[in-house]
Structure 1
Amino acid sequence: MTDLEYLDRAEALLASVEANCDRINERSDADIDNQRVGGMVTLTFADRSQIIVNLQKPLQEVWLAARSGGFHYKWDGQCWRDTKTAAEFFADLSRYASEQAGQQLSFSS
């Protein structure tokens, strides 16, 4: 994948995370504050815990830091997959955000 292809896919992922937060906030009482600064989106939950999603351009990866730990995702031609477990990014984000929000949340691409 070229650097430009990586940036297009990674920027689309960040935009999707932001759009999902807006949708979740409109349809639930989860109250996720999301802030984007450059290639990083910070999700802050009601209990002040955070999930951070940021781009790692030199590695062509997306990193996710949650209360459960830190995870690295690489594009596999179909979706972003964890480099260790092969779990899909949005499935993981849904699980970790649900844990931190204390309610079932669903993120999708």
Structure 2
Amino acid sequence: MTDLEYADHADALLLQIEQACDRITEETDVDLDAQRVGGMVTIIFPNRTQIVVNQQKPLHEIWLAAKAGGFHFKFDGQVWQDTKGEGEFISMLNQFASEQAGEALSFS
């Protein structure tokens, strides 16, 4: 994957996260605060816990840090997959965000 292709896919993922946070805040009782600075989105939950998603441009990866731990993802041509085979990014984000929010959330 070229640097430009990585940037396009990574930026699209961060935008999807931001838009999903806005939708979740509008449609549920969970008030998420998504703050984007460059290639990083920080999701702040009402209980003040956070999930941080950031681009790792030199490695062509996306990193996710949650209470559950830290995870690295590479784009496989269709979705972002965990580099250790733990799963797909959006599924894992849904799981970790739901755990931190105390109710089911979907970033799809």
Q: Same fold (TM over 0.5)?
A: yes
Instruction: Say if 2:6 is the partner of 1:6.
Output: yes
Partners of 2:32 and 2:53 in 1: CA distance? 14
Structure 1 residue runs of 5 or longer lacking an equivalent are: none
Using structure 1 for the length normalisation, give the TM-score.
0.97
Q: Which residue of 1 aligns with 2:83?
A: 83
Q: Which residue of 1 aligns with 2:101?
A: 101
How far apart are residue 86 of structure 1 and its match? 4.7
Within 5 A, what are the aligned runs for 1:1-109?
Answer: 1-108=1-108
Paired-residue identity, %: 63
How far apart are residue 11 of structure 1 and its match? 0.2
Partners of 2:35 and 2:72 in 1: CA distance? 20
Aligned length: 108
Using structure 2 for the length normalisation, give the TM-score.
0.98
Letter in 2 for 1:5: E
How far apart are residue 85 of structure 1 and its match? 1.8
Cα RMSD (Å) of the superposition? 0.6
Structure 2 residue runs of 5 or longer lacking an equivalent are: none
Structure 1 segments of 4 or more deviating over 3 A? none
Residue 24 of structure 2 aligns to a residue whose secondary structure is helix
